[in-house]
Amino acid sequence: MDNTPQLYISNFLDYLKFQKRYAQHTITSYNTDLTDFFDYLQTQFNEQQVKSIKSGLVRSWLAELKMNNQSSKTINRKISTLKTFFKYLLRQGEIETSPMATIVTPKQNKRLPEFVDKRDTDTLFSNVTFEEDWNGKTEHLVLMILYHTGIRQAELIGLKNAAIDKYNATIKVLGKGNKERIIPIGKDLLTEIMEYQKAKAAQIENPDVECLLVRENGKKLYAKWVYNAVKKNLSLITTIQKRSPHVLRHTFATHLSNNGADLNAIKELLGHSSLAATQIYTHNTIEKLKDIYKQAHPKA
């Protein structure tokens, strides 16, 4: 008797969590995609037998997504989810062939990552006034860390006090797949962090002893808090559409690239597993060179 899709999904998510060590938000995304897929099969075809799923059923779901105006990026992500899921089942011997074998991922337009202009980041840290309460102090340090190090939002929230090496001026970051990397930091950021730690010990009652960044109640930050803080302050200095923590990661990488940093060095700082993921920032550099050429060359 075939197991239920829920059991297969549960086992698959455990595999992602305990063996692949995926981040929780990634696992949640996989769960959502798979649940939506099997809900569709149940509603449209009364089909819940995993071993009976053929490529035609997958194509039907993808067509439904397209009709509901889902973006190519979203559809590609869902295809990737299904491919990973059925590949797992194939390795487990639960199925003999994958229904994804003939599914082609649609092409999508490559968009350059948005980033904050250098003049605007200068304005952010030189002219924007942060509140003098604990929230203001934490928001300022959050923005500094994100821009000065290019770390991900989850990595920021997970930063430990012990990760700060004041003697070597570095931060130890725990990235995807529990991979550690060391990021050098400048004097300004190091000074800000040390002052924050002193203020936390003096002002916050029973703060989380491990976490670097905490709220007024002493608990560590959470994703929505960080997102709102970044969006609020970036809205004061830039008109770009996206004003998320990840935009500051793009900004960090783009500013390094624009100032001649080696691509492999940027890759290591960002914690990318492949150089291909980092190469997108060279396109921003090329765009900047084009602008300079058009403005400066008499025959442009």
Per the annotation, the verdict on 152 as an active-site residue is yes
Of these residues, 17, 83, 160, 176, which one is catalytic? 176
Of these residues, 152, 200, 243, 250, which one is catalytic? 152
Q: How far is CA 296 from CA 202, 249, 286, 290, in A?
A: 54, 30, 15, 10
Of these residues, 77, 231, 246, 283, which one is catalytic? 246
Per the annotation, the verdict on 255 as an active-site residue is no
Find the helix packing angle between 245-258 and 280-296, rounded to 10°: 60
**Whether the Cβ atoms of residue 253 and residue 282 lie closer than 8 Å to each other:** no
- The span from the CA of 75 to the CA of 187, in Å, is 44
Per the annotation, the verdict on 250 as an active-site residue is no
Size of the chain, expressed as the number of residues it contains: 300
Per the annotation, the verdict on 281 as an active-site residue is yes
CA–centroid distance for 136 within its chain = 24
Phi/psi of residue 70, each to 5°?
Answer: -70, 140
Count other Cβ atoms within 10 Å, centred on residue 150: 24
Of these residues, 160, 219, 231, 272, which one is catalytic? 272
Of these residues, 249, 250, 255, 267, which one is catalytic? 249
DSSP run (H or E) holding 182: strand 180-184
Per the annotation, the verdict on 272 as an active-site residue is yes
Give me the sheet containing 180-184, strands edge to edge.
Answer: 164-165, 170-174, 180-184
Per the annotation, the verdict on 297 as an active-site residue is no
Catalytic residues: 152, 176, 246, 249, 272, 281
